[in-house]
Amino acid sequence: MTAIAPSCGPVAALELCEVTKEYPSGCGRMPLRALDRVNLRVGLGGIFGLLGPNGSGKSTALKLLLGLLAPTSGTCRIFGLPSEVPEARRVIGYVPDGPAYPRYLTGREFLRFMARLTGVSRSGREGRLMEVLEWVGLQDAADRRIGGYSRGMLQRIGLAQALVHNPRILILDEPTAGVDAVGVTAIDSLLTRLRAEGRTILLTSHLLGSLERICDEVAILAQGRVVYAAPRSAWVSRSSGLRVDALPAPEQIALRHWVEARGGKVAAASADSLERIYGEAVRAAVR
């Protein structure tokens, strides 16, 4: 994948080319510019993270790609087709931020409705429902009403409905919002599995540690502009080594002894983390 292109190039999975989006402010005031000549290219396959503080334009960028908004200027494409063309959007699964699903339906009923809506064949529909319910860990809650789901369960049923028609592209707006640490790990594992199948995933998140682990590439938005974009190699040390997260102190000590007894060396993690890159890029943009 290539994060930024100064002009429209070869066909990509998703592309914003010189896109500006303005919202009217009313009363004769200057319009609010949410995106300012943004160039963004997401290539085929892999996980692409779109970062930025609140109000930076992340959700606007996703809605433009989905054809839910029209750009003030510039072009938005899906596999080379304009994003407003229905044929282009059929290959996408979408999880919005703060979704409102029908509370009176069970999880299975909701997925069955979405499967019909997205053209899943009747003969394979029930099997597909069970498959995606297992993927997101909701098979035991499939026949409970959505109104009784926790926030984390709502995020997972959202992922299930986005996957039910077997899309080539997933666009996920804060898919781990409100999800506990165990749930975040499960979602990260699912996304890496989907990447291995060749899908393209574009997601936003404020969980920088999660993005650091799973993303192949990131772009950072601030004040409506792309202020940084780079592949994974920019924040992962190129030297051979081992990084271990969230391991209790006694186990860390035992691991250190085990490694050193075999001639290895345990060193501190590289300071060139995605969190540091993000902080510096955003601070520089708002000065």
* DSSP annotation string for 236-285: S-SSS-----S--HHHHHHHHHHHHHTT----PPPS--HHHHHHHHHHHH
Q: What is the pLDDT of residue 252?
A: 73
Tell me, yes or no, whether 277 lies in a domain.
yes
Question: Is the domain of 174 the same as that of 285?
Answer: yes
List, for the chain, all residue ranges whose pLDDT scores fall below the cut of 50: 1-7, 238-240, 270-271
Tell me, yes or no, whether 42 lies in a domain.
yes
Show the tokens assigned to 99: 């979704």
CA neighbor of 155 nearest in space, from 215, 208, 113, 100: 100
Instruction: Using a cut of 0.85, tell me whether the model's pTM lies above it.
Output: no
Q: What is the pLDDT of residue 70?
A: 94
Tell me, yes or no, whether 246 lies in a domain.
no
Q: What is the pLDDT of residues 104-132, one digit of tens each?
A: 999 999 999 999 999 999 999 999 999 99
| Sequence-separated (6 or more) residues with CB below 8 Å from residue 47 | 191, 192, 195, 201, 203, 214, 215, 216, 217
Question: Is the domain of 143 the same as that of 217?
Answer: no
Cβ-in-10-Å burial (0-12, 13-18, 19+) of 72 comes to middle
Q: For residue 140, give its domain range.
A: 96-167
Q: Which residue has the tokens 């890159």?
A: 277
Show the tokens assigned to 104: 């009176």
Tell me, yes or no, whether 243 lies in a domain.
no
Measuring CA to CA, how many Å separate 284 from each of 70, 158, 281?
A: 29, 35, 5
Q: What is the pLDDT of residue 7?
A: 42
Q: What is the pLDDT of residue 10?
A: 64
Show the tokens assigned to 26: 């009313």
Question: Is the domain of 104 the same as that of 79?
Answer: no
Q: What is the pLDDT of residue 267?
A: 62
Q: What is the pLDDT of residue 244?
A: 65
Taken in order 152, 155, 157, 160, is the CA torsion positive or negative?
Answer: negative
**19-52 per-residue burial string, b: 16 or more CB within 10 A, e: under 16:** bbbbeeeeeeeeeebbbeebbbbbbebbbbbbbb
Q: What is the pLDDT of residues 245-268, one digit of tens each?
A: 666 766 777 777 778 787 777 665
Q: How many CB atoms lie within 10 A of CB 210?
A: 22
Tell me, yes or no, whether 261 lies in a domain.
no
Q: What is the pLDDT of residue 186?
A: 87
- Number of folded domains in the chain? 2
CA separation for the pair 11, 45 (Å, rounded): 13
- Which residue type is seen at 55? G
Q: What is the pLDDT of residue 245?
A: 61
Tell me, yes or no, whether 240 lies in a domain.
no
Query: Residue 85's domain is classified under what CATH number?
Result: 3.40.50.300
Question: Is the domain of 76 the same as that of 12?
Answer: yes
